[in-house]
Amino acid sequence: MPDDPQTPEFWIALRQAQGLVSATGTDTVNALIDAYETSPAFTDPDKLSDGTRNFYRRSLKIARDAWGELPSAKLRPVHVQAIMDGLSQTKGKANNFLGAMRALSAWASARGHIDTSLTEGVKPYAAKGGHKPWTSAQIEQVHEQLTGMLRRGVLLYVYTGQRGSDVVRLGWTDVDEGGFALRQRKTGREVWCPIVPELAAEMATWARRPGPFLLQDNGKPYTRKLFSKHFADARDQIPALAGATLHGLRCTAVVRLRRAGLSTGQISDITGMSLAMIERYCRFADKKASGQAALVSLARTREEQNCKTPENWKAKNT
* pLDDT tens-digit series, residues 32-58: 999 999 898 998 877 777 778 888 999
Q: Is a pLDDT exceeding 90 seen at residue 121? A: yes
pLDDT (mean) for 114-127: 89
Most confident of 131-135, 136-140, 294-298: 136-140
Note the pLDDT tens digit of each residue in 142-156: 999 999 999 999 999
243: left (phi over 0), alpha (psi -120 to 50) or beta: left
At residue 25, the pLDDT reads 45
Cα–Cα distance, 193 to 182 (Å, whole number):
8
Cβ distance 203 to 196 under 8 Å? no
* 277 pLDDT higher than 90: no
CA distance 176 to 182: 9
Question: Is the separation of the CB atoms in 221 and 168 below 8 Å?
Answer: yes
* CB-CB contact of 5 with 11 (8 Å): yes
How many Cα atoms sit within 13 Å of 210 on the Cβ side? 0
Could you read off the pLDDT of 61-95 as tens digits, one per residue?
999 999 999 999 999 999 999 999 999 888 889 99
pLDDT of residue 194: 92
Tell me the per-residue pLDDT of 97-118, one tens digit each, with 9 for 90 and over. Answer: 999 999 999 999 999 999 999 9
Query: Taking residues 250-274, what's their average pLDDT?
Result: 87
Assess whether pLDDT exceeds 70 at residue 10: no
Q: Tell me: the pLDDT tens digits for 202-230?
A: 999 999 999 999 999 999 999 999 999 99
